[in-house]
Amino acid sequence: MRFLPDRDHRSYTATIRRLLADAGTHRIARAWAAGDHAPGRALWRSLAETGLPALAVPEQDGGLGRRPAELAAAFMEIGRAAAPGPLVETVALAAGLPAAAPWAAPLLAGDRLATVADPATAPGAGADGRRARGPEAAGYAVDAHLADAVFVPVAGGLATGTVAGAPLRSLDPGRRLVRCVPGEPVPADLQRLRAFATLLTAAQLLGAGEAMLETSAAYVRQRRQFGRAVGAFQAVKHQLADVAVALEFARPLLYGGALAVRGDSAAESRDLPAAKAACADAAHLAARTALQVHGAVGYTDEYDLSLLLRKVRALQAAWGTRAACHAAVLSGAPVPD
Q: Tell me what pLDDT residue 137 has.
A: 42
Q: Tell me what pLDDT residue 3 has.
A: 64
CB 69 within 8 A of CB 10: no
Backbone angles phi and psi of 160, in degrees to 5: -60, 150
Residues of the chain below pLDDT 70: 1-3, 120-138, 231
CB 44 within 8 A of CB 87: yes
Q: Tell me what pLDDT residue 125 has.
A: 45
Query: Rounded CA gap, 78 and 87, in Å?
Result: 9
Spell out the domains of the chain, with CATH numbers in brackets. Answer: 192-331 (1.20.140.10)
Query: Rounded CA gap, 29 and 253, in Å?
Result: 28
CB 92 within 8 A of CB 56: yes
Q: Tell me what pLDDT residue 134 has.
A: 38
Per-residue pLDDT reduced to its tens digit, 42-57: 999 999 999 999 999 9
* Helix (H) or strand (E) run with residue 241 in it: helix 234-262
Q: Tell me what pLDDT residue 185 has.
A: 94
Q: Tell me what pLDDT residue 75 has.
A: 98
User: CB within 8 A of 62, min separation 6: which ones?
Assistant: 54, 99, 104, 105, 108
Q: Tell me what pLDDT residue 171 has.
A: 87
Per-residue pLDDT reduced to its tens digit, 121-133: 655 444 433 344 4
Q: Tell me what pLDDT residue 1 has.
A: 57
Q: Tell me what pLDDT residue 129 has.
A: 37
